[in-house]
Structure 1
Amino acid sequence: MVCYPLHYTVIMHGGLCLGLAAGCLVAGFMNSLMETIITFRLLLCHRVINHFAYETLAVLWLVCVDIYFNKVMVVASVFLVIMLPCSLVLFSYGHIVVAILRICSTQRCGKASGTCASHLTVVCMYFGATIFTYLGPRSAFSVEKEKMVALFYAVGAPMLNPLIYSLRNKEVMAALSKFLEKFRDKG
């Protein structure tokens, strides 16, 4: 769609948007349901989760039976819910970069690449932390490190998302500059 911006309304019609949203909701629900069912069937040795949120991996650390099947299901889930969307996003950004390189004007190229860079920063922060959590090396594992990375992808990346996008807005930047000038004048 990036390559055909004038066709956006034809390509992304209401039915397609509704179908994509419904597909995401159904896939998320089915993934959560599957992980919940296979996790709650396990025998737990401990009752305290050393984590700030319910994470499948945090619960699996409490189990005192073989969890091979659960690990296989987590890897399958990671592929479908994390790696597949991440690959599609990166594939899309590859097309965006090619489209940007075709632009002749330096000003338009700079603006487009700036927008693309801010989007890609948020995508890399979220997917990078998530992939590290679920596919990272277990040799570097520590409960505290795991909690920090999970906190980053669950709270940090979504919180930075509006900040990064709003700083691209001229009015927001002007208001921020005025605020910083007032703050600087008082100091």
Structure 2
Amino acid sequence: MMIQDNHSIISEFILVGLSDSQELQNFLFVVFLCIYIITVSGNVYIILAYRFSPVLHNPMYFYLANFSFLDISYITGTVPKMLSNFLSEQKTISVYGCAIQMYCVWLFGGTECYILAAMAYDRYNAICQPLLYTAIMNNVICSQLIIVSWIIGAVNSLIHTVLTFSLTFCSNKINHFFCDVPPVLELSCTNTWVNELVIFLISGCVIIGSFILIMISYFKIISTILKVHSRFGRRKTFSTCTSHLIVVTMFYGSGIFMYFRPKSSYGMEQDRLVSIMYTVIAPMLNPFVYSLRNGEMKLAMKRILHQLIKS
């Protein structure tokens, strides 16, 4: 750090990470490297299955392929830097690198919120308005929903990153494994009430707003399913939504816990564990949740493997 006018000018931050023990860090390196490889491989596989299987060329799998791309981007925003820090004595990240990482994580996270909402809207139309489904969920509408999701994520991320890095910092030791807003706010010398208010208001619109849209869609879906007289028909109809509900529960449960609490409860050990859930574990589990419970996806993957073996 450099000194200017009795204030510390921070040029880099130190990421505390998950452990101080070098032996444990070596073990964690192997674990998270395996998780990263599995996550990227599983999500790439879903993207390839959608790309090369004409039977999957419908809105549900279009959103799933985009969601898989986001999962790859999301975990890439945090894990590679964490892996390098496991093997490094100086676990530093430049101020600009920290800002870029924060922007990317919030960009991909915010975009995922509304793509999950778009996926719920797609299931609502498929189940509640099957005769109009093709007309409603056409290529233009699907593309527009993806674009809007990215715009919301980009604006939300830009606001938080700019406000956070306009603060003055008294310390450069981040009690986390990546540059997230709450642990960085802990380092500020100035009052952060504006930043905290923005997290509640802006992030509330992104996280809670998209969650409400998902719940409205599923309320109508469940109401429609309950009107189906056949027990087999109800089970078959609801099975198309269970994978999405599992992903929504994992993602929103951990996200709401992390960002909708007072500043006094930030920086605790469980925060890092919760962050691992939505930035690392959820992207790894999503391909398994969607593919193992989906007959069409499994069939498409078998066809791709068969073609690869033949070639």
TM-score by length of 2: 0.52
| Cα deviation digits, residues 7-28 of structure 1 (max 9, x gap) | 2221012222222122111111
| Residue 73 (structure 1) aligns with | 198
How do 1:2-151 and structure 2 match up within 5 A?
Answer: 2-136=127-261, 141-151=266-276
1:102, distance to aligned residue in structure 2 (A): 1.0
Segments of structure 2 that go 5 or more residues without pairing to the other structure are 1-124, 300-311
1:135–1:112: structure 2 CA closer, same or farther, 3 Å change rule?
same
Measure, in 2, the Cα distance between the counterparts of 1:169 and 1:26.
30
Amino acid at match of 2:202: S
Measure, in 2, the Cα distance between the counterparts of 1:25 and 1:113.
29
Measure, in 1, the Cα distance between the counterparts of 2:242 and 2:146.
25
Amino acid at match of 1:116: C
Amino acid at match of 2:276: L
Amino acid at match of 1:56: V
Query: 1:5 is paired with a residue of what secondary structure?
Result: coil
Q: Equivalent of 1:168, from 275, 286, 293?
A: 293
1:114, distance to aligned residue in structure 2 (A): 3.0
Pick which of 138-147 and 39-48 moved more. Answer: 138-147
| Cα deviation digits, residues 51-80 of structure 1 (max 9, x gap) | 112211111011111011111111112212
**Identity among equivalent pairs (%):** 39
1:124–1:109: structure 2 CA closer, same or farther, 3 Å change rule?
same
Measure, in 2, the Cα distance between the counterparts of 1:139 and 1:115.
41
1:95, distance to aligned residue in structure 2 (A): 0.8
1:139, distance to aligned residue in structure 2 (A): 6.6
Measure, in 2, the Cα distance between the counterparts of 1:27 and 1:170.
33
Measure, in 2, the Cα distance between the counterparts of 1:39 and 1:160.
31
1:18–1:66: structure 2 CA closer, same or farther, 3 Å change rule?
same
Segments of structure 1 that go 5 or more residues without pairing to the other structure are 174-187
Measure, in 1, the Cα distance between the counterparts of 2:291 and 2:143.
27
| Cα deviation digits, residues 126-158 of structure 1 (max 9, x gap) | 101100001146676553210110110112122
Query: 2:154 is paired with a residue of what secondary structure?
Result: helix
| Residue 88 (structure 2) aligns with | none
CA RMSD after TM alignment: 2.2
Query: 1:77 is paired with a residue of what secondary structure?
Result: helix
1:19–1:32: structure 2 CA closer, same or farther, 3 Å change rule?
same
Moved over 6 A (4+): none
- Pick the structure with more strand per residue: 2
Preserved CA contact (<8 Å) 2:228 2:234:
yes
Pick which of 42-51 and 9-18 moved more. Answer: 9-18
Total equivalences in the alignment: 174
